[in-house]
Structure 1
Amino acid sequence: MALISIRGLSVTYGIYTALENVNLDIFEHDFIGIIGPNGGGKTTLVKAILGTIPYSGSIWYAPGLDDRYGRAIGYLPQQNNFDRSFPISVREVVYSGLQARKRLWKRYTATDRKRAEELMEMTGISLIAQNPIGEISGGQMQRALLCRALISDPKLLILDEPANFVDNKFEKELYDILRTLNSQMAIVMVSHDIGTITSVVKTIVCVNRRVHRHDSNEITEEQLYNYDCPIQLICHGDIPHTVLKKHEEK
């Protein structure tokens, strides 16, 4: 079943077209890796799905994914979009993920508090729950934002460059957590690290103003060329190397 169906979506900023005539379906238990060049429209696509920017075309949400109290979508933004000077604790960041689905006068329940503690324990930040966010590391902040995205038990989780600011240990833990979560929800992950995400996701979506869904986690140089997705393809092997585009004969 489709959770989201996008048809004829276009987004413009002044005279610049960021996305043009995009058609894309996101299904239950999808695990999509969104790739593309810088400025190709990856984050713009995410913002359109979240409803935070104007667009033309249509986005249909499955019943229960969109309601009067907010969409049942968890979102982990790029960390540089979050104000680290705001005077709140790590625990309060986690709780803030419930605000869209609660009335202002409704207090957090025992179930909410238990869920928050479970998530902070799972991500290894329970011991710093009372710390102000201005005093924690970038990796710890990313863990807190992941907990915030998950606390409302969303049907769809969207992550924008989630491995930024995290150490190698938590990056591996993060991807293990996401594999487990995928049995409970669909996941869409924006990343520039193709070599890593192709070992995690099930489906690749190339975004470069237009969008192409490739229903596999394997992507080749030829496919990137056909999808007009001019990004560097990095492969793992015994000897670290990067394959550069061949020189044209003169």
Structure 2
Amino acid sequence: MHTDDVLFVRLLFTSVMASVDFRDNLLGISWVDSGWVPILNPGNVLDYFSERSNPFYDRTCNNEVVKMQRLTLEHLNQMVGVEYILLHAQEPILYIIRKQQRQSPTQDIPLADYYIIAGVVYQAPDLGTVISSRALSAVHGIQSAFDEAMSYCRYHPSKGYWWHFKDQEEREKNKPKTKKKEEASSLFQRHRVDTLLLDLRSKFPPTFYQPKPGEKPIPVEVKKEPEPPAEAVKQEEREPATKSSAPAPPSKPPPEKRARLQ
């Protein structure tokens, strides 16, 4: 695991968190008035949405002006400003209301959408919020994976890096421990040692031996061959010298040829 990768993930996590504005964010809240839930229908759902306790409703919108003047909702097309309209209705469970900026009778700009499910009002997230939420969830999962992976990483100067998992410890504990018989020496070592001992024994024979443990050691008598006297050695040395110095007998010449008598 490289340090640069961890820093990159943390910076990405910080940037995504900074891009999400939690102040004045209505995506995490909901509103419901249980008294209205049994009687909700497409005709009164905008009145239900315009309750004063509803945090999603803007009091400065054109719907308030129409309500105060006791006009119909058709007059909203002739006004300019923020307004709320019923976009979709699926009785009795789902209603969708849109908040938009009216610029002309034929031109408006959507600002936000709200959906009512079983009387509970939620704000629908926009595309930027959805992407930020998905990116935040992905980065959080990646960061958690990096942290967990780093907790299993081990390092030692002599061994280097390796992974040490908790399951591995449990497996090692549950494994039956079998002790391997360690041989004192190999066949090659024993053969070499025996050869060296025999060589040393021939060069340096023991001076004592002990027939039984606990008994007194007995000295070993080493039989030495009698050395020949010095005069005999000198005489043997002289004999080959005299034999080699005696002159060889002269060789006989070939017989002379005699002339034949006629």
- Normalising by the smaller structure, the TM-score range is under 0.3
Larger radius of gyration: 2
Q: Which has the higher contact order (CA 8 A, sep 6+)?
A: 1
Structure holding more helix per residue: 2
TM-score, structure 2 normalization: 0.25
